[in-house]
Amino acid sequence: MSDLSERYRAYLAALNERRLDDLVEYVQDELTYNGAALTRPEYQAMLAGDVEAIPDLFFDARIIVATEDRIACRILFDCKPEKEFLGFTPDGGRFLFAEHVFYRFVGGRIAAVDSLIDRHAIAEQLQARRS
Amino acid sequence: MSDLSERYRAYLAALNERRLDDLVEYVQDELTYNGAALTRPEYQAMLAGDVEAIPDLFFDARIIVATEDRIACRILFDCKPEKEFLGFTPDGGRFLFAEHVFYRFVGGRIAAVDSLIDRHAIAEQLQARRS
């Protein structure tokens, strides 16, 4: 049975190439994001907001664990936010941080996302540059 | 080819039943933890410290994504820390938070751990009870 890794890499490529309208191929009409119900347009708007705040946002998948209906991914970000993001006010510098995220797919499209972003690393980098 | 999920569940059972000496069965002599080199005794001491700070610590695996050499797990904790943990000073209350963790196994034993713990959730729960 084939796993979802190639499909997931195609999803990340769509994000990295800013083809957000292609999300219809990879995301269910309705999904949950950290337990909250979202429509795909709402999910797309959330990602569009991330990219607006962080124009050089690049999803760099470092570990992908894939089965037939699940993906877990460790993603590294090395980016320069230009607007407020995750409640942080950018200071003009770069940030290096990880996201550890789980996806459940139904019919080849994402139905549930459980994401943890390393806000602690972001806070520490801001703090280190302030002092 | 069989995946590691049963083996990983046995590892978590050893942690939950405080059979930390059994880690020799599940963990390599040397491993990396969030990029830092550790010996298994150092890893075991770290876990013993966690359990000392949080006597009711229970690893509740909610999502396991398993292949032949990788595990990714979303673990929920619902616990009452009694000593300082992760830099937080307990306030006598319970905390509910997640860990998203990736493991690489070699020869059936853990060789690398990449863990993210939702410190933001812990900080928010502390803050909400303070105000």
Tens of pLDDT, residue by residue over A38-79, are 999 999 999 999 999 999 999 999 999 999 999 999 999 999
Q: Chain centroid to CA B34: how far?
A: 12
Residue corresponding to tokens 């801001």: A126
**How many CB pairs below 8 A link A and B?**
55
Check: CB of residue A81 under 8 Å from CB of residue A107: no
Given the DSSP bridges, would you call strands A60-66 and A36-39 parallel, antiparallel or unpaired? unpaired
Please give the pLDDT value at position B131: 83
Rounded to 5 degrees, what angle do the CA atoms A125, A78, A21 make?
130
Beta strands, E only, A59-131: 60-66, 70-79, 95-106, 109-117
Reported confidence tier of residue B28, pLDDT bands at 50, 70, 90: very high
The total number of residues shown for chain B amounts to 131
- The ipTM, to two decimals, is 0.96
Reported confidence tier of residue A1, pLDDT bands at 50, 70, 90: low
**Which of B102, B103, B105, B124 has the most A C-beta neighbours within 10 Å, making it the best mutation to test the interface with A?**
B102
pLDDT in tens, B76-127: 999 999 999 999 999 999 999 999 999 999 999 999 999 999 999 999 999 9
Check: CB of residue A28 under 8 Å from CB of residue A109: yes
Determine the residue of chain B that is closest to A34 in CA distance: B98
